A and B are shown apart, each in its own frame.
Chain A
Amino acid sequence: SQQGEEDPQALSIQEGENATMNCSYKTSINNLQWYRQNSGRGLVHLILIRSNEREKHSGRLRVTLDTSKKSSSLLITASRAADTASYFCATAYSGAGSYQLTFGKGTKLSVIP
């Protein structure tokens, strides 16, 4: 079963606005990752936040993690048309000889020029 659930499923904004996407999950994790996918292409890693971290930044990206609420958010500031893509959160858990990286269904972001 898929653990990560993104919200909203689709988001349309004007260029220059900020975009916020949320991810909720159900069980313990080692880390949470955000990926981007342009239509029909492979996923590209954006940022990884570990379970003992609360916030990370990378360029125009800001990710927060609240393990007590089992949720994360991805903020893209000053959006550009080139940010149009689907964004996926993935929760990673490893332990007892097993490993899981579970992806959500994604948020489809459209940035209108």
Chain B
Amino acid sequence: DADVTQTPRNRITKTGKRIMLECSQTKGHDRMYWYRQDPGLGLRLIYYSFDVKDINKGEISDGYSVSRQAQAKFSLSLESAIPNQTALYFCATSGGLAGGKYQETQYFGPGTRLLVL
């Protein structure tokens, strides 16, 4: 979905380095999410944010941190990268009301492929 962008798209880094993955959205959604996907596995939730002042840990938050700089921006940091953090990382958003119900459909960015050597 072009309304959700991620930078960089690919990144190679070394063990111990700090890196940041960025996500921006133009959908006006209040909720944003970070997932990682490993080969042959589904997505696992790292962190999620329901608004700028709300940050929550997901299933696998250890080794990661996030920052919600604005409603449209949500960044993921690996403080000290390790090889088992090599994965495909996705940002997603959701939001809005339709028929009085909150829309839970998530819209995904194109992903960042991260390799930690």
Residues of A within 8 A of B (CB): 1-2, 4, 30-31, 33, 35, 40-45, 48, 88, 90, 92, 98-106
Contact = CB atoms under 8 A, between A and B. Distances in A.
A105 B41 contact: yes
A44 B42 contact: no
Contacts of A1: 59
B42 A2 contact: yes
B51 interface: no
A101 B42 contact: no
A42 B40 CA distance: 15
Given A101-B45, A104-B42, A43 B105 contact: no
The SS class assigned to the B binding surface is strand
Interface residues of B, number: 27
B9 to A, nearest CB: 11
Contact of A99 (B35, B56, B113): B56
B43 to A, nearest CB: 4
Contacts of B44: 2, 103
B62 interface: no
A98 B59 CA distance: 12
A101 B56 CA distance: 13
13 contacts: A2-B42, A2-B44, A35-B106, A40-B113, A42-B110, A90-B43, A92-B104, A99-B48, A100-B59, A101-B45, A102-B45, A102-B59, A104-B42
Nearest to B31: A99
A33 B110 CA distance: 19
Contacts of A43: 43, 90, 92, 106, 108
